[in-house]
Structure 1
Amino acid sequence: MSFKIAIIGAGSVGFTKKLFTDILCVPEFKDIEFALTDVSEHNLGMIKAILDRIVEANGLPTKVTATTNRRAALEGARYIISCVRVGGLEAYADDIRIPLKYGIDQCVGDTICAGGILYGQRNIPVILDFCRDIRELAETGAKFLNYANPMAMNTWAAIEYGKVDTVGLCHGVQHGAEQIAEVLGATSPKELDYVCSGINHQTWFIELRLNGRPIGKDELVAAFEAHPVYSSQEKLRIDVLKRFGVYSTESNGHLSEYLPWYRKRPDEITRWIDMSDWIHGETGGYLRYSTETRNWFETEYPQFLEAASKPIDAARRSNEHASHILEALETNRVYRGHFNVKNNGVITNLPQDAIIESPGFVDRFGINMAAGITLPEACAATCMASINVQRMSVHAAIAGDIELLKLAVLHDPLVGAVSTPEEVWQMVDEMVVAQAAWLPQYAHAVPAAKERLSKSKVKTRDWAGAARRSVRSIEELRAEKAALKQAG
């Protein structure tokens, strides 16, 4: 087979390498072309060198090109994969820093909450640019695979306004299933059969079977509470399981910021999180992790390049959906996964226009969702709160409507639990001004926002958060990796 895949944001080096090697695990795909594009010529150069090394080491005819000219990369592409982070770590730092001044403590801040909403405002205009170029330049009927957060907002904008065949992809369901299989004593995750449905990052394991045997709430609670690691790392997640009756896909830290109950007071934050790793609830944890990862990669790049000389091992193909979807579409080998698409009746008790994440099957006819799923009422209620925020956020981003943006932030569950309307209005003004370089649709609103900020009497605080850690140096990271290697 011969076709072209464009990867936008290919400078996300580690993730691009994973997608690339996964796709080349499909024997029929050795003759395809990968067109890499990114705004960073430096990052493009690094990832192209790595992928070229993989191609050479494995004796493949695969073609790899790299360009900062996105339109050139998209020309003739059958599949387009997006891994972009608009504004990079500079804008992301403001997503965490500014809300802290108003008492809003986020672990990740890339889905909803104040940080996720502003992230969406930066991404959506760019997503629409991608869609315009796809319609003009890509193969007719090209498929857009979005991996970028905020997943639901980006996918919503691409489908509703970009008018491109789009599916959103995430790995939270797979990771949650691996946890459940482990606590239940399965020898392999394949022993667990499940139905997981909801919205991205708020997806729920509503049916579980281990080797055909149904697993109920009480057994699952007991298994998690008995686990020597997860019983401490996933305290909040286990509490939600006890109250809702079903397990959430999302990590302790992620889940904590989508709900109004666990991060509303500093003492509550420290009660429910675990500091053994960022993903369990650390303040700004993913920002720290991303910063350290970038610094580590820049410093240790020669090692990454050397590792690319190893043969591709199909047995180590990851469970990221992209390669499996492409394989199913091109070869008709059926794949079952969980996909972010417009609801259209798939989940009976969520809105038709919402972007849901739910089971589906892929073959040469496309992605076919399993329809008629009804969520437990508490799960649906929690999803609805986020969907309403997502809808307003998308509409605000499209129109450049700062008043609607403020209303979206005001209705966010965690923001509403912590901040007053006056604080929200000022916080949004501050974030829009700070991120104006990446928010062209709000250019007309920036002068008035600056004026309001100059006259505001709303008090803020100088607060690092309830559980903040400093970015570690390369030397500290080396010492930690050496200690782990010695211990393991």
Structure 2
Amino acid sequence: MSFKIAIIGAGSVGFTKKLFTDILCVPEFKDIEFALTDVSEHNLGMIKAILDRIVEANHLPTRVTATTNRREALEGARYIISCVRVGGLEAYADDIRIPLKYGIDQCVGDTICAGGILYGQRNIPVILDFCKDISEVAETDAKFLNYANPMAMNTWAAIEYGKVDTVGLCHGVQHGAEQIAEVLGAKSRHELDYVCSGINHQTWFIDLRLNGRKIGKDELVAAFEAHPVYSQQEKLRIDVLKRFGVYSTESNGHLSEYLPWYRKRPDEITRWIDMSDWIHGETGGYLRYSTETRNWFETEYPQFLEAASKPIDPAKRSNEHASHILEALETNRVYRGHFNVKNNGVITNLPQDAIIESPGFVDRFGINMAAGITLPEACAATCMASINVQRMSVHAAIAGDIDLLKLAVLHDPLVGAVSTPEEVWQMVDEMVVAQAAWLPQYAHAVPAAKERLAKSKVKTREWAGAARRNVRSIEELRAEKAALKQTG
């Protein structure tokens, strides 16, 4: 087989390498072309060198090109994969820093909450630019695979406004299933069967079978509470399991910022989170992790390049959906996964226009969703709160409507639990002004926002958050990795 895959935001080095090696685990795909594109020529050069080394070490005919000209990369592509973070770490720092001034403590801030909504405002105009290029220069009926957050908002915009064949992909379901298999004592994750449904980052394991035996709430709660690690790292998630009756796919830290109950009081936050790793609830945890990872990659690049000389091992192919979807579409080897698509009746008690995440099967005929799923009422109610925020956020981003943007932020569950309307109005003004370079649709609103900020009497505070850690230096990271290696 010979076709072209374009990867937008290919400077996401670790993730691009994973997607690349996964795809090359499919024997039929050795002779394809990967076209890498990114706004950073520096990052592109680094990742191309790594991928070229992989191709050379494995004696493959695979072609790798790299360009900052996105349209050139998309020309003739059959599949387009997006891993973009518009504004990079600079804008992301404001997604965490500014809401903290108004008492909003986020762990990640990339899905909803104040940070995720502004992230969507930066991404959506760019996503629509991608869709325009795909429609004009890619293969007819090219498929757009979106990995970029905020997943639901980006996918919603691409489908409703970009009019491109789009699927959103995430790995939260797989990670949650691995946890469940472990606490239940499964010898392999393949012993666990499940139906997981909802919206991205709020997906629920509504049916669990271990070797065909149905697993109920009480058994699952007991298994998690008996686990020596997860019982401490997933306290909030276990509490939601007890109250809702089903387990959430999303990590303790992620889930905590989508709900209005666990992060609204600073003195309560530490009760529900765990500081053994950022993902369990640390304030701005993913920002710190991302910063450290980027610094580490820049410093230790020769090691990454050397590691690329190893043979590709198909046994180590990851459970990221992209390679499996492409394999099913091209070879008709059927793949079952969980995909982000427009609802259209798949989940009976969520809106038709919402982007849902639910089981589907892929073959030559495309992605075929399993329809007629009904969520437990509490799960549907929680999803509905986020869907309403997502819908307003998408429409605000398309129209450049700062008033609708403020209403979207106001209706966010955690923001509404913490902040007053006056605080929300000022916070959004401050974020739009700070991120104006990445928000062209709000250029007309920036002067008035600056005037309001100059006259505002809403009080803020300089606050690092309830559970903040400093970014570690390269030396500290080296020492930590050496200690871990020594202890096994």
TM category (shorter chain) comes to over 0.9
Tell me the alpha carbon deviations over residues 303-336 of structure 1, each in whole angstroms, 9 at most, x when there is no partner: 0000000000000000000000000000000000
Structure 1, unmatched stretches of 5+, are none
Please report the RMSD computed on the Cα atoms of aligned residues, expressed in angstroms: 0.2
CA displacement at 1:78 relative to structure 2 = 0.1
Provide the secondary structure at the position in 1 that maps to 2:117: helix
Q: Partners of 1:463 and 1:35 in 2: how far apart? A: 43
Provide the secondary structure at the position in 2 that maps to 1:195: strand
CA displacement at 1:59 relative to structure 2 = 0.2
Tell me the alpha carbon deviations over residues 175-231 of structure 1, each in whole angstroms, 9 at most, x when there is no partner: 000000000000000000000000000000000000000000000000000000000
CA displacement at 1:267 relative to structure 2 = 1.1
Residue of structure 2 in register with 1:199 after alignment: 199
Q: Partners of 2:179 and 2:484 in 1: how far apart? A: 22
Q: Partners of 2:336 and 2:131 in 1: how far apart? A: 26
Tell me the alpha carbon deviations over residues 91-123 of structure 1, each in whole angstroms, 9 at most, x when there is no partner: 000000000000000000000000000000000
Provide the secondary structure at the position in 2 that maps to 1:454: helix
Provide the secondary structure at the position in 2 that maps to 1:259: coil
Greater than 2 Å deviation, 4+ residue runs: none
Residue of structure 2 in register with 1:290 after alignment: 290
Tell me the alpha carbon deviations over residues 443-467 of structure 1, each in whole angstroms, 9 at most, x when there is no partner: 0000000000000000000100000
What aligned pairs does 1:317-332 form with structure 2 within 5 A after superposition?
317-332=317-332
Residue of structure 1 in register with 2:185 after alignment: 185
Q: Partners of 2:118 and 2:269 in 1: how far apart? A: 23
CA displacement at 1:147 relative to structure 2 = 0.1
Q: Partners of 1:359 and 1:297 in 2: how far apart? A: 35
Q: Partners of 1:63 and 1:349 in 2: how far apart? A: 46
What aligned pairs does 1:3-152 form with structure 2 within 5 A after superposition?
3-152=3-152
Q: Partners of 1:157 and 1:380 in 2: how far apart? A: 22
Provide the secondary structure at the position in 1 that maps to 2:122: helix
Residue of structure 2 in register with 1:258 after alignment: 258
CA displacement at 1:420 relative to structure 2 = 0.1
Q: Partners of 2:208 and 2:326 in 1: how far apart? A: 27
Q: Partners of 1:267 and 1:179 in 2: how far apart? A: 29
Q: Partners of 1:377 and 1:485 in 2: how far apart? A: 46
CA displacement at 1:172 relative to structure 2 = 0.1
Provide the secondary structure at the position in 2 that maps to 1:65: strand
CA displacement at 1:134 relative to structure 2 = 0.1
Q: Partners of 2:13 and 2:274 in 1: how far apart? A: 29
Tell me the alpha carbon deviations over residues 265-311 of structure 1, each in whole angstroms, 9 at most, x when there is no partner: 01110110000000000000000000000000000000000000000
CA displacement at 1:473 relative to structure 2 = 0.2
Kindly tell me the number of residue pairs found equivalent between the two proteins: 488
Provide the secondary structure at the position in 1 that maps to 2:206: strand
Q: Partners of 1:258 and 1:49 in 2: how far apart? A: 39
Q: Partners of 1:62 and 1:232 in 2: how far apart? A: 45
Residue of structure 1 in register with 2:334 after alignment: 334
Percent identity of equivalent pairs:
96
Q: Partners of 2:295 and 2:272 in 1: how far apart? A: 30
Give the TM-score of the pair, scaled to structure 1.
1.00
Q: Partners of 2:229 and 2:183 in 1: how far apart? A: 10
Q: Partners of 1:91 and 1:252 in 2: how far apart? A: 24
Q: Partners of 2:290 and 2:163 in 1: how far apart? A: 32
Residue of structure 1 in register with 2:405 after alignment: 405
Residue of structure 2 in register with 1:393 after alignment: 393
Q: Partners of 2:483 and 2:377 in 1: how far apart? A: 47
Tell me the alpha carbon deviations over residues 149-197 of structure 1, each in whole angstroms, 9 at most, x when there is no partner: 0000000000000000000000000000000000000000000000000
Q: Partners of 1:204 and 1:487 in 2: how far apart? A: 36
Structure 2, unmatched stretches of 5+, are none
Provide the secondary structure at the position in 1 that maps to 2:6: strand
Provide the secondary structure at the position in 1 that maps to 2:186: coil
Q: Partners of 1:47 and 1:14 in 2: how far apart? A: 9
Give the TM-score of the pair, scaled to structure 2.
1.00
Q: Partners of 2:435 and 2:202 in 1: how far apart? A: 27
CA displacement at 1:359 relative to structure 2 = 0.1
Q: Partners of 1:290 and 1:210 in 2: how far apart? A: 35
